[in-house]
Structure 1
């Protein structure tokens, strides 16, 4: 009877490349603990090997009509959007449908976060949001979330409203502030008794 290794580590890499196969964002994952037969070890441990993989992958997928391919013993799902390509790379035994859900969730959450302006310039200008969205979708190769709305709400920026406090530093303003503080202190003392 064959032994199957069940694991949560399903994603080997997430890549966002431009139309010239240049990196915009790349995340290669490797489980933190060793597995039998080094099954989940990174196939591309050096940047040189990663760039060779990315260039070959880009050459095979650029301007193609499919969304799922088998490349270099990996299942690769991808989506082309304007002038970027988003890739999710998994092992040969991974579920293509699940990997496809990850790429769709990442694309849709980025469209929400970047206000439907998913292009190279916008991604670079908002690199922090893009990186956080990737981290909220997949962490160390483990799929965390595939709902783009949930991902985008976890990644939103704090409000940019510039709230300024107008202080009345006149004698009248200071007296009313002092009365307010006295009333609050008096109220707290009464509650303590």
Structure 2
């Protein structure tokens, strides 16, 4: 790996309400690979310009002001590469370091947008995101973990996030009384004994 390069490509993934600039979703990443110092925060806490909520909100406000009237999907803002996509009444952002690969970051924003479209099968808007916040969080965690890009194929992301149980379990048929649990233990003991006899 070349000097200065890192697996941690993404600094933040942010979804903002276009109307009032309020935060719908925001996840900031700092590299877990830096050696900690006595004064540094734990790796799960963002450091640097995003160290606290106030600086994050200031960054987000400026970002929305800068991109609200833009027609492109990439800008350089606050010495960072920012890729963004507008969907209905929300703006989605992927923020990376100034030295990061724009194409890789662009794939992340596309994966986010396309995954949400596949998950919701309808328009991606503020209300849908809030009502399905758990799915949005899971999808983003499948795409990026600790700033490291894991997956950019929307179909794979959606399969992982919305995977149904392999078999429905009828909970009403399970006997959870003391006698039922004892019967289950006896059955397991008998099966284990049979299995051991067959092995010898």
Question: Normalization by structure 1: what TM-score?
Answer: 0.78
Residues 112-160 of structure 1: CA deviation (Å, up to 9, x unaligned): 011132111000000000000000000000000111111111100536x
Contact 1:79 1:86 in 2 (8 A): yes
Q: Aligned-pair distance for 1:163? A: 7.1
In 1, the alpha carbon distance for the partners of 2:62 and 2:56 equals 10
Contact 1:133 1:151 in 2 (8 A): yes
Q: Aligned-pair distance for 1:21? A: 1.1
Q: Aligned residue for 1:22? A: 22
CA 1:112–1:166 in 2, change beyond 3 Å: closer, same or farther? same
In 1, the alpha carbon distance for the partners of 2:47 and 2:131 equals 33
Q: Aligned residue for 1:139? A: 145
2:106 aligns with one of 100, 108, 112: 100
Q: Aligned-pair distance for 1:165? A: 8.7
Dislocated runs of 4+, deviation >3 Å: 161-167
CA 1:165–1:124 in 2, change beyond 3 Å: closer, same or farther? closer
Give the count of matched residue pairs.
169
Q: Aligned residue for 1:129? A: 135
In 2, the alpha carbon distance for the partners of 1:124 and 1:157 equals 20
Contact 1:112 1:152 in 2 (8 A): yes
Q: Aligned-pair distance for 1:43? A: 1.9
Q: Which secondary structure does the structure 2 equivalent of 1:48 belong to? A: helix
In 1, the alpha carbon distance for the partners of 2:49 and 2:172 equals 59
Does 2:117 align with 1:118? no
Residues 75-130 of structure 1: CA deviation (Å, up to 9, x unaligned): 00000001111100000101111101100011000110111321110000000000
Residues 160-187 of structure 1: CA deviation (Å, up to 9, x unaligned): x9876998xxxxxxxxxxxxxxxxx9xx
In 1, the alpha carbon distance for the partners of 2:155 and 2:114 equals 8
Matches within 5 A, 1:32-47: 32-34=32-34, 41-47=47-53
Q: Aligned residue for 2:62? A: 56
Does 2:19 align with 1:12? no
Q: Aligned residue for 1:180? A: none
In 1, the alpha carbon distance for the partners of 2:28 and 2:171 equals 46
In 2, the alpha carbon distance for the partners of 1:166 and 1:157 equals 23
